[in-house]
Amino acid sequence: MIVIAGSPRKGRYSDRIASHFAELTGSSLIFARDLNVGPCRACNYCKGKGDGECIQKDDMGKVINSIMNEDGIALVSPVYWWQTTGQIKLVIDRLYSIREGALRGKRLVVIMNGEAEASDAEYRILREQFSEMASYLGMEYSFLGVGTPEGNEDALEAALKAAGNLALTVK
Ligand SMILES: Cc1cc2nc3c(=O)[nH]c(=O)nc-3n(C[C@H](O)[C@H](O)[C@H](O)COP(=O)(O)O)c2cc1C
């Protein structure tokens, strides 16, 4: 699996959850903030002349190559305004260039961490939203929502434990 961590903040909650999950699943880990990924231009070059390749020659090419060589993708992102961070959204939009059916049978893991506790609406909304995307792409889907309020080490420990349990089920 390839784990893509979406926080702009180095070494904070999402990074720690992502590292833990990557270690337990034996996955490679990349940080979206370190990537040079432009926004999808909806030019549809990839659907025509590009035949599955994007016209933009930036870091997304190597991300897609890694995804193709792995059995799945795990996105680990802070909740920003009931959504993922912009860094993760850029990556998601650029998956558009992948040929139809190419992600079928691979796994999509989404781990979202916010300030709000796990029963709050953002996690339900995100769980459902990514469920639709996974089903459209024919991917096996797992979701985890965790609340990691700033400075709350107990909540972080609980989140790491939950991510560890999820890792055991998707390995
Ligand atoms: C722009 C912005 C928007 C946020 N929106 C939400 C939100 O809608 N719901 C929530 O629970 N937390 C929200 N948060 C809090 C972060 O999700 C939370 O602090 C998270 O743990 C940060 O992850 P990090 O430590 O990996 O950067 C927001 C934070 C920022 C900076």
Q: What is the pLDDT of residues 3-34, one digit of tens each?
A: 999 999 999 999 999 999 999 999 999 999 99
Euclidean distance between the first and final Cα of the chain, in Å?
Answer: 9
Q: What is the pLDDT of residue 171?
A: 72
Q: What is the pLDDT of residue 97?
A: 97
113 lines ligand 1 (CB under 6 A): yes
Any residues with CB less than 8 A from the CB of 90 and at least 6 apart, and which? 32, 37, 38, 39
Q: Which residue's alpha carbon is at the smallest distance from atom 25 of ligand 1?
A: 13
152 lines ligand 1 (CB under 6 A): no
Average pLDDT, the chain: 97
Q: What is the pLDDT of residue 124?
A: 98
3-class DSSP state of 56: coil
Segments forming the whole domain that contains residue 139 = 2-170
3-class DSSP state of 74: strand
pLDDT tens per residue across span 126-140 = 999 999 999 999 999
Q: State in Å: Cα 156 to ligand 1 middle.
A: 14
| Candidate from 80, 112, 156 with most ligand 1 atoms within 8 A of CB, to mutate | 80
Q: State in Å: Cα 78 to ligand 1 middle.
A: 5
Q: What is the pLDDT of residue 166?
A: 98
Tokens describing residue 158: 């609980």
Q: What percent of the chain shows pLDDT beyond 70?
A: 100
Integer Cα distance of 76 and 160 in angstroms: 12
Q: β-strand 140-147 against 28-31: which pairing, if any?
A: unpaired
| Candidate from 79, 124, 144, 146 with most ligand 1 atoms within 8 A of CB, to mutate | 79
Q: Which residue's alpha carbon is at the smallest distance from atom 22 of ligand 1?
A: 78
Q: What is the pLDDT of residue 83?
A: 98
b (16+ CB within 10 A) / e for 121-138 = ebbeebbeebeeebeebe
pLDDT tens per residue across span 52-69 = 999 999 999 999 999 999
Integer Cα distance of 146 and 79 in angstroms: 10
Taken in order 92, 96, 100, 102, the sign of the CA dihedral is negative
Domain count, the chain: 1
Question: Which CATH number characterizes residue 66's domain?
Answer: 3.40.50.360
Using the predicted structure, report yes or no on whether residue 161 has a pLDDT greater than 90.
Answer: yes
- The kind and range of the H/E element at 23 are helix 13-25
With bands split at pLDDT 50, 70 and 90, how would you rate the model's confidence at 105? very high
